[in-house]
């Protein structure tokens, strides 16, 4: 507890944090990771849906939405609500759902509460089964959105976009796909998601492994047995299985592997912080009594609290709001004791609360883990928000199972991999199966992650226009790329604890702009150069968040510990007033119907 920590305890913590960070800092930062090539090239394939041959399509489309995850689905729904009927979703996956289509590993679920995470619950009449719901239920919700708003009938699934190029004479984008389609789209919305391109750990010899190997985002149930609902993976009972990575994904699938595998080895570079989850079922009776408009209220309440604001009650009440409420209340205490409200007081409130929280997280490890050495290795020594916080009530317990061994690499990572297994600190661990839980590309360029480039007016490529960082108005409109709408969170609200809220709110603005353009018969809409420049100046005037905090242990939250370039800064910026300020601003902006900063041409 805060009050029990002396100044010297706090100083000792800082020293320990720096020591642990220094072990992990590496000059190659993001470039340590490998693309899925060679032996792993099939990682990018779709193992879930057979490719059904079809004739190439040559047609006009009013709105083409690239990506059929929550970003594309929500914007598609908003467009339908605004009266736009010709909306076509396109996705390389065989069905809608985005990350929830691809990630079917056992135990997959969302640890942001379903009441705020699942978009359009009211519009689709959906009651989540529990506070935190499993991946199959989330995927089913994605399908429900598609069906409710009739987005499936025209969707081009199992179809990858290859290129998008603006044709000034037609005022349309010409879109080529890997199925030979040529689409002429008046408007293009891109919802390609922040975390979908799997990356591999840059471990020497990774391509030489001769056993079975797969990335968590392409779980091979044909090999393991079991299924996405978490059934026992009976085919692993006589196998030696290893997993590389202990991030949010691994934390969810490790309990299942521990239950199923004959022998199980967890190769850890940095332990995650594992806070309590406390999941519980949702009472349909209670749910039925919620008033119309409840979901926006809940989303707002979550974000207000999660960004240090005040609200009468904490509706979601979870690990995300817990840490921010502690920081906020500590700041209030400090101000009452005479401190001036400003960055220094906020930093002190943050550090005090974080010390308290992380001591609790570490104490929980001791309370659960039987073996002293294993407990010591599972304790995270960094501030909670340096890495993606995790919440789980079965993960730590797995290490008490006799078949499960934690192989801690003391921050160094796996030494090398050979044909038969994994080496750590000179010890060889022979394996039949290697599960790779090394996450997804984050710091790489937008066009690389989406898998296609977009040529705007005069053939200027988006990759070129954004070579020194993203430039946009509101994170949505890009100068020189008429009728293009980016669906995301950067340069807008930057709400990352509940990403779909960005789509729900931005979707309203996107739909209004398109509906207005159609109503008044414009051919092109894009931001003025001045508006785009001013927005960039505005959002970079005050950097929020911990991105780039030099004291953090490296990870994708802080550019893998490398300095923040101008490009990283642009790509990571949001409204200086925080998510709620952005959402309120955008709502007012669209409701005036003037769309200040946009230029419409007939």
The binding site for ligand NDP (CB under 6 A) comprises 24, 110-112, 195, 201, 203, 244-250, 252, 267, 269-270, 388, 413-414, 437-440, 555-556
What kind and span of H or E run contains 299?
helix 294-306
- Report in angstroms how near the CB of residue 416 gets to ligand NDP at its nearest: 10
The full DSSP string for 542-586 is S--SSTT-TTSPPSGGGGGGPPPPHHHHHHT---TT-HHHHHHHH
Q: How far is CA 399 from the centre of its chain?
A: 27
Angstrom distance (rounded) from CA 319 to CA 302: 11
- Report in angstroms how near the CB of residue 548 gets to ligand NDP at its nearest: 16
Angstrom distance (rounded) from CA 308 to CA 415: 42
Structure tokens at 161: 């976009």
Residue at token pair 């789980």 = 392
- Report in angstroms how near the CB of residue 287 gets to ligand NDP at its nearest: 22
- Report in angstroms how near the CB of residue 442 gets to ligand NDP at its nearest: 8
Smallest CA-to-CA distance from 69 within 556, 510, 505, 500 is with 500
- Report in angstroms how near the CB of residue 112 gets to ligand NDP at its nearest: 6
- Cβ nearer to ligand NDP, comparing 386 with 454: 386
- Report in angstroms how near the CB of residue 252 gets to ligand NDP at its nearest: 6
- Cβ nearer to ligand NDP, comparing 307 with 498: 498
Angstrom distance (rounded) from CA 516 to CA 185: 17
- Cβ nearer to ligand NDP, comparing 427 with 596: 427
- Cβ nearer to ligand NDP, comparing 417 with 525: 417
- Report in angstroms how near the CB of residue 2 gets to ligand NDP at its nearest: 27
- Cβ nearer to ligand NDP, comparing 114 with 157: 114
Q: How far is CA 359 from the centre of its chain?
A: 27
- Cβ nearer to ligand NDP, comparing 158 with 562: 562
- Report in angstroms how near the CB of residue 115 gets to ligand NDP at its nearest: 14
Cβ 89 vs Cβ 65: under 8 Å: yes
- Report in angstroms how near the CB of residue 68 gets to ligand NDP at its nearest: 19
* Dihedral of alpha carbons 160, 166, 167, 169, sign: positive
- Report in angstroms how near the CB of residue 353 gets to ligand NDP at its nearest: 22
The 3-state DSSP composition of the chain as helix, strand, coil percent (nearest 5) reads: 40, 15, 45
Angstrom distance (rounded) from CA 339 to CA 330: 11
- Report in angstroms how near the CB of residue 411 gets to ligand NDP at its nearest: 7
- Cβ nearer to ligand NDP, comparing 302 with 440: 440
Cβ 257 vs Cβ 264: under 8 Å: yes
- Report in angstroms how near the CB of residue 197 gets to ligand NDP at its nearest: 11
Q: How far is CA 87 from the centre of its chain?
A: 25
- Cβ nearer to ligand NDP, comparing 133 with 369: 133
Given the DSSP bridges, would you call strands 240-244 and 453-455 parallel, antiparallel or unpaired?
unpaired
- Report in angstroms how near the CB of residue 489 gets to ligand NDP at its nearest: 12
- Cβ nearer to ligand NDP, comparing 252 with 573: 252
- Cβ nearer to ligand NDP, comparing 82 with 250: 250
Structure tokens at 373: 């050495």
Given the DSSP bridges, would you call strands 240-244 and 390-391 parallel, antiparallel or unpaired?
unpaired
**Neighbour-count burial for 332-365, b at 16+ CB within 10 Å, e otherwise:** eebeeeeeeeeeebbeebbbbbbbbbbbebbebb
- Cβ nearer to ligand NDP, comparing 439 with 578: 439
- Report in angstroms how near the CB of residue 589 gets to ligand NDP at its nearest: 29
Number of residues written out for the chain: 602
Cβ 181 vs Cβ 60: under 8 Å: no
- Report in angstroms how near the CB of residue 125 gets to ligand NDP at its nearest: 24
Structure tokens at 18: 């720096």
- Cβ nearer to ligand NDP, comparing 159 with 272: 272
- Cβ nearer to ligand NDP, comparing 46 with 111: 111
Smallest CA-to-CA distance from 387 within 502, 553, 518, 224 is with 553
**Other CB atoms within 10 Å distance of the CB of residue 246:** 24
- Cβ nearer to ligand NDP, comparing 98 with 482: 98
- Cβ nearer to ligand NDP, comparing 247 with 492: 247
Largest CA distance in the chain: 72
The full DSSP string for 385-423 is GGS--EE-SSHHHHTTSTTEEEEE-TTS---EE-SSEEE
Residue at token pair 């949505």 = 476
Q: How far lies 248's CA from each of 107, 120, 520, 592, in Å?
A: 11, 25, 47, 41
């Amino acid at each position: 507890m805060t009050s029990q920590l002396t100044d010297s305890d706090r100083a000792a913590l800082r020293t320990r944090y720096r020591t642990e960070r220094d072990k992990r800092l590496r000059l190659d930062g993001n470039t340590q990771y490998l693309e899925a090539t060679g032996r792993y090239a099939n990682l990018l394939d779709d193992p879930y849906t057979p490719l059904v041959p079809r004739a190439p399509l040559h047609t006009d489309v009013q709105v083409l939405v690239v990506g059929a995850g929550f970003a594309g689905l929500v914007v598609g729904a908003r467009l339908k609500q605004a009266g736009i009927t010709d909306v076509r979703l396109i996705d390389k996956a065989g069905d809608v759902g985005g990350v929830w289509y691809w990630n079917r590993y056992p135990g997959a679920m969302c640890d942001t509460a379903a009441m705020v995470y699942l978009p359009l619950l009211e519009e689709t009449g959906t009651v989540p089964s529990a506070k935190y719901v499993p991946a199959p239920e989330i995927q089913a919700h994605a399908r429900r959105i598609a069906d409710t708003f009739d987005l499936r009938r025209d969707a081009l699934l199992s179809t990858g976009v290859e290129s998008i190029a603006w044709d000034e004479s037609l005022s349309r984008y010409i879109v080529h796909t890997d199925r030979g389609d040529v689409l002429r789209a008046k408007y293009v919305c891109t919802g390609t998601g922040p975390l979908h391109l799997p990356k591999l750990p840059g471990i020497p010899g990774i391509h030489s492994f001769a056993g079975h190997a797969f990335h968590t985002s392409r779980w091979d149930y044909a090999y393991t047995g079991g299924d996405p609902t978490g059934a026992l993976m009976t085919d692993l009972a006589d196998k030696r299985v290893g997993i590389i990575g202990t991030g949010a994904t691994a934390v969810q699938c490790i309990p299942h592997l521990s239950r199923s595998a004959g022998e199980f080895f967890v190769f850890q570079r940095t332990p995650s912080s594992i806070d309590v989850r406390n999941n519980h079922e949702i009472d349909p009776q209670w749910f039925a009594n919620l008033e119309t408009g409840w979901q926006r209220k809940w989303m707002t309440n979550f974000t207000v609290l999660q960004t240090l604001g005040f609200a009468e009650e904490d509706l979601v009440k979870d690990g995300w709001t817990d840490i921010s409420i502690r920081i906020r209340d500590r700041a209030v205490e400090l101000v009452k004791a005479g401190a001036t409200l400003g960055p220094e007081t906020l930093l002190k409130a943050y550090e005090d609360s974080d010390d308290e929280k992380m001591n609790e997280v570490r104490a929980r490890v001791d309370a659960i883990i039987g073996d002293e050495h294993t407990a010591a290795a599972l304790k995270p020594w960094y501030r909670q928000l340096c890495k993606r916080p995790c919440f789980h009530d079965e993960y730590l317990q797995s290490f008490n199972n006799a078949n499960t061994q934690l192989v801690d690499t003391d921050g160094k990572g796996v030494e090398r991999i050979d044909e038969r297994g994994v080496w750590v600190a000179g010890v060889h661990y022979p394996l039949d199966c290697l599960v790779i839980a090394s996450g997804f590309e984050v710091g790489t360029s937008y066009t690389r992650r989406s898998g296609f480039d977009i040529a705007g007016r005069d053939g200027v490529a988006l990759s070129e226009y954004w070579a020194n960082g993203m430039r946009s108005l509101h994170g949505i409109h890009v100068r020189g790329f008429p009728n293009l709408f980016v669906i995301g969170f950067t340069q807008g609200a930057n709400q990352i604890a509940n990403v779909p809220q960005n789509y729900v709110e931005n979707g309203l603005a996107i739909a209004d702009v398109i509906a207005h353009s159609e109503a008044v018969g414009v051919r092109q809409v894009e931001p003025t150069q001045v508006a785009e420049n001013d927005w960039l100046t505005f959002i970079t005037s005050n950097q929020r968040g911990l991105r780039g905090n030099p004291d953090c242990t490296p990870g994708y939250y802080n550019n893998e510990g490398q300095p923040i370039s101008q490009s990283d800064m642009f790509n990571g910026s949001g409204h200086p007033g925080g998510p709620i300020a952005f959402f309120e601003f955008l709502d007012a902006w669209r409701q005036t119907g003037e769309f200040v900063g946009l230029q419409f041409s007939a």
